[in-house]
Structure 1
Amino acid sequence: MDETTGSARDSFAFDGNIADYARIAFVNLLLTLLTLLTLGVYAFWGSARARRYLWAHTRFVDDHLEWTGTGKELFKGFVAVFFLVMLPLLLINLLLQSAVMRGEPLTAGLLGLGFTLSILYLLGVAHFRMLRYRLSRTLWRGIRGGSDRAGWRYGGFALARGALLLPTFWLTLPSYNIALWNRRWGEMSFGPFPFETAATTKGLYKRFFGLFGLAILGFLVMGLMLGFMVAAGEARLASTLVTGFMYLLFALVGALYFAVYFRNAVGGLSLGGLHFRFLASSGDWVRFFAGNLALVVVTLGLGVVLLPYRNWQFFITHLAATGGIDADTLSQSSARAPGEGEGLAGAFEIGAI
């Protein structure tokens, strides 16, 4: 039996309501604030509750997704990371500060290098384990995903590729982003099928260098604004305007870059007989970033609790799939399901994708 996805644009759908989600998000915020004396532990259960809502209102073909993760798992992940990662890093940082105060530049340099490399390595591990955990707790027709890899090798790969950014003055960023995407998703699976990745940098360098020029032009404009206004005795106003201009510039650059990056990355992803696409245009990305910024500004920061809803809605409504998959070949994943949540990703506040 072949289950085809029909229209690419209709293969994924989201039927949530932001008013319903807001009731969940603001109750979560209130209960988290009320539990601050206990380190805000309700936040983990609140996060699980919010995900259950988003997943339950996400449809792929003819069935909705299901989130099976729990607040307890997320809390266990946080505790493990706190004692096994964050405390040792804090100790290294204290030793570094002590070496600086004692005037020991060699020791301070070695500790500083070790601290930086540790952070960069753990960021890679966190990104991998976050994706592995979320796939393992995502069900479609009762089938889940995951990976048998723990993410330690991926952390080394990400660190090695990241080291190449410095001697190239970050001009190889597109290749870095695509390489990590292919490696990360290439080690994941869903049900009996491994994800296959073939994302390329087609068009991405052209967009990247164009945005690089736009950023330089923007900084020149900001410098002129700042100079003229300081000369006119409006230093405070100049600082406010330049800060706002800088946020808008970075949002615009990010939106235009992600438009090509996600089109390439998702477009190179396949699973069984399914081939994925991401249909958001540059204009869609600009409107999305602008809407998020406006929501946070207008609500004086409170709207930040609604951003997970907007982020998920944007991703799902622009995600598409073509092709088909034989339903008779569907079976449960044999990948090991981790027993704890995305502790590292939570510690570094890494996003979903």
Structure 2
Amino acid sequence: MMAEASYTLVFQGGILDGFEREQVMQRFGQLFRVSAEDVEKIFGHPRVVLKRNLDRAAADAFLGRLAGIGMAVRLDEAQPATPDPLPVSRTSDADATREAPLPASVAPQPTATSQQSGASDLRAATASVVPTPLVSSAARDNDQPRELPFEFSGNGFEFFRIWIVNLVLSIVTLGIYSAWAKVRTQRYFYGNTRCEGASFAYLAEPLSILKGRLIAFALVLVYILADGFVPLLRIVVTLVFLAIFPWIMVRGLAFRNHNSAWRGVRFGFDGRLGEAYRVFLLWPIAGAITLGLLLPYAAYRQQQFIIGRSRYGVEPLRFEARAGAFYMIALAVIGIGVGGFLLSMLAGAVFPPLSLVAMPAAYLAIFAVSNVMITNLRYNSTALGAHLLQANYRFGSYAMLMLTNTLALGLTFGLFYPWAKVRSARYAAEHISLVADGDLDAFAAAQREQVSAAGGEIGDLFDVDLGI
């Protein structure tokens, strides 16, 4: 009987298009728990053997996971498979390339040669190193990707009762109850949003949110007092706020993701403060200096940071959009703005009252087009391992939703708010879906096991919600 082929996983320092080398190295170190020094060694060698003697299913899993963080890895096939007791071997000086020894934390372990026992031993040997594959090769062969729509089951009357109690108690308690109000609201909308029968969960506690709101209130109070008594101090307070804004964003995103869960698995956020300062401070400043030319690129970098640093369990999300798409959105918005202005001027010249209708219509069009294009871009460019998100917002239906919500809010002096919020949530659920490639139950179970094996959440955990 012919021996089964085995595969060797080889890394030659390549980075996939759309990824930055520094970010890939950082993600590799975080995901595999490798020190910065060892990451430098791995990425600095011309040829590194990451794993030997892998069966096809395990090799595909490694390949897909490493490609997901941006590493250009290849598989070398060997026939027949032979056990290799050494984690990494060096070639002779005469060889054109060298194989770098990996740190002990990621060095491969010997595995059995049979497919069944080999896959089992591989998972056991690398449980703390590489997460379990999303789906096996056999599952990918047998299960075609399927579109799973999101569902929202809330209704306006039900949420109105929650909203009116929240409003009254927040007023009576001078805003203190607003933390509990937020938790009740979030849990209502999370709990009524489902995908493949499983609801989302919001896990934050009101006291954590209250602490953040007290901090925010103190900052606003200082600003108001500075504006009233020491005008020059207002400038200082504004500069201080701008300086800490990236920190606020990182903490807020980490809090939101950590307290969001689906199928018993929390989301997470691994963004670093240095990168946050670049995307939320330096790039917007560069956009202002260039008279707006770099603002679309700044928006691209921000979305790349927010989505690309998020994860589900230990599985990182990928944001695959390009900066050019954000420039297309900017051009569309500018075109509609200029067209709306010219149309209102023309309408006003023909019949002046028409200008009162043309300008609001132009604003509505700008708002609807920008929201539709940005939402579709964000979701259609986001992937979670082998699974994809997709959105199909439509300008006509979304503009009608915004128009009717705005009119109803105005006619009811704001009392239509609960229905407007429910209608918006239902529209989002009806136009967003998950394209699943494999068994989601198995995927979620694998994430739970990996988080448990890691001894808790990866990255910093924050207990303060700053309102992001």
Q: TM-score range by the shorter chain?
A: 0.7 to 0.9
Find the counterpart in structure 2 of residue 50 from structure 1: 185
One-letter amino acid of the structure 2 residue matched with residue 42 of structure 1:
Y
* Separation (CA, whole Å) in 2 of partners of 1:299 and 1:190: 40
* Separation (CA, whole Å) in 2 of partners of 1:180 and 1:304: 30
One-letter amino acid of the structure 1 residue matched with residue 162 of structure 2:
I
**What SS class does the counterpart of residue 139 from structure 1 fall into?**
strand
Instruction: Summarize deviations over 1:283-326 as a string: whole Å, max 9, x none.
Output: 23212321321231121222234444334333333222213455
**Residue pairs, 1:37-186, within 5 angstroms:** 38-83=173-218, 85-90=219-224, 93=227, 97=231, 99=232, 112=235, 115-149=237-271, 151=273, 153-186=275-308
2:330 is aligned with 1:330: no
* Separation (CA, whole Å) in 1 of partners of 2:161 and 2:280: 39
Moved more, 16-25 or 127-136: 127-136
**What SS class does the counterpart of residue 164 from structure 1 fall into?**
helix
Kept after mapping to 2: 8 A contact 1:22/1:306: yes
**What SS class does the counterpart of residue 280 from structure 1 fall into?**
coil
Q: 1:69 to 1:196 in 2, by over 3 A?
A: same
Deviation at 1:181, TM superposition (A): 0.4
Equivalent position to 1:285, from 389, 398, 405: 398
* Separation (CA, whole Å) in 1 of partners of 2:381 and 2:272: 23
**What SS class does the counterpart of residue 388 from structure 2 fall into?**
strand
Find the counterpart in structure 2 of residue 350 from structure 1: none
2:373 is aligned with 1:256: no
Kept after mapping to 2: 8 A contact 1:129/1:151: no
* Separation (CA, whole Å) in 2 of partners of 1:313 and 1:151: 35
**Residue pairs, 1:293-332, within 5 angstroms:** 293-322=406-435, 323-324=437-438, 326-327=442-443, 328-331=445-448, 332=451
Unaligned stretches of 5+ residues in structure 2: 1-133, 452-456
Q: 1:125 to 1:299 in 2, by over 3 A?
A: farther
Kept after mapping to 2: 8 A contact 1:5/1:321: no
Moved more, 271-280 or 242-251: 242-251
Question: Counting helix residues as a fraction of each chain, which structure ranks higher?
Answer: 1
Moved more, 49-58 or 199-208: 199-208
2:126 is aligned with 1:13: no
Moved more, 130-139 or 119-128: 119-128
Q: 1:263 to 1:44 in 2, by over 3 A?
A: same
Percent identity, aligned pairs only, is: 20
Q: Which has the higher contact order (CA 8 A, sep 6+)?
A: 1
Work out which of the two has the higher radius of gyration on C-alpha atoms and give 1 or 2: 2
Deviation at 1:42, TM superposition (A): 1.5
Q: 1:336 to 1:316 in 2, by over 3 A?
A: farther
Instruction: Summarize deviations over 1:254-307 as a string: whole Å, max 9, x none.
Output: 211222222222222112221111211222321232132123112122223444
Kept after mapping to 2: 8 A contact 1:195/1:269: yes
Instruction: Summarize deviations over 1:187-219 as a string: whole Å, max 9, x none.
Output: 221101111212224554344324313313433
Q: 1:119 to 1:251 in 2, by over 3 A?
A: farther
* Separation (CA, whole Å) in 1 of partners of 2:258 and 2:380: 23
Instruction: Summarize deviations over 1:17-44 as a string: whole Å, max 9, x none.
Output: 22211211122122223x1xx4221122
2:403 is aligned with 1:268: no
Unaligned stretches of 5+ residues in structure 1: 100-107, 231-237, 346-353
* Separation (CA, whole Å) in 2 of partners of 1:54 and 1:86: 29
* Separation (CA, whole Å) in 2 of partners of 1:43 and 1:72: 11
Deviation at 1:132, TM superposition (A): 2.2
**What SS class does the counterpart of residue 302 from structure 1 fall into?**
coil
Moved more, 282-291 or 191-200: 282-291
Kept after mapping to 2: 8 A contact 1:154/1:184: no
* Separation (CA, whole Å) in 2 of partners of 1:267 and 1:244: 34
Kept after mapping to 2: 8 A contact 1:295/1:303: yes
**Residue pairs, 1:154-233, within 5 angstroms:** 154-222=276-344
Kept after mapping to 2: 8 A contact 1:125/1:152: no
* Separation (CA, whole Å) in 2 of partners of 1:311 and 1:74: 24
Deviation at 1:223, TM superposition (A): 5.4
Moved more, 88-97 or 22-31: 88-97
Kept after mapping to 1: 8 A contact 2:279/2:301: no
Moved more, 47-56 or 315-324: 315-324
Q: How many residues align?
A: 318
Q: 1:32 to 1:306 in 2, by over 3 A?
A: farther
TM-score, length basis structure 2: 0.59
